[in-house]
Amino acid sequence: GQDESVLEDRRLKWAALLRRFQKYGHFSFGNRVTALEGGDACYTEMLAAIRSARSRVWCESYIFDHSRIGETFFHALLFAARRGCDVVLLVDFIGSFSFPMEWVRELQEAGAQVSFFNPVLPSSECVGPVSFRDHRKVMICDAVGFCGGMNIQEEVGEELFGTSRFYDVHAKLEGPCIADLADVFRDSLQENGGHIER
């Protein structure tokens, strides 16, 4: 009956998702990559990029917590939206469970689009099994991109931004690879049901 129909829909979504992964793996020339070690170095660069963005700020993170650094990023995204940037925030439903709904509302009122990846409830919004999570950490600000292992959480920050509980590394990217990173971000939006398109 209806349960089988829902399961079949999920199977079809999952198969389409796996087919889309096949396009990754190409490369481009003329890129600049800067390694950012630790949260303080990374967050300083990311926040500067958000503040200087004039057209877009697309942010995807598994964890975006309700800490001081989370609030700093929230305000940076909010101000970017208010000055007319295309702001899209995609966070994982489980990893960012503490992300305040008040922040979602404020971002949306400023014109940003906010989406939670693979929400558990309502079940009609699930795009895969509960274990299907979005662990990507991607940010694109105009022609500058960031990716790597850095979530937006106080445990990764050091003296300036957090508790130094975890050490992580991120990369700042410039050049033609930003178009590829933007495609990865767009794929995440599609994987999440395609409610937001870019």
How does pLDDT run across 34-80, given as a tens digit for each residue? Answer: 999 999 999 999 999 999 999 999 999 999 999 999 999 999 999 99
Q: Which amino acid is residue 75, in one-letter code?
A: H
Q: Please give the pLDDT value at position 15.
A: 78
Segment 139-149 mean pLDDT: 98
Q: CA torsion angle for 42, 48, 54, 55 (degrees, to 10)?
A: 10
The residue behind tokens 């295309």 is 86
Q: Helices (DSSP H) in 53-173: which residue ranges?
A: 68-82, 101-109
pTM check: above 0.85: yes
How does pLDDT run across 19-41, given as a tens digit for each residue? Answer: 776 677 667 889 999 999 999 99
Q: Please give the pLDDT value at position 28.
A: 83
Using the CB atoms, write b or e for 61-73: b if 16+ within 10 Å.
Answer: bbbbbbbebbebb
Residue 16, classed as helix, strand or coil, is: helix
Q: What are phi and psi of 171, to 5 degrees?
A: -130, 140
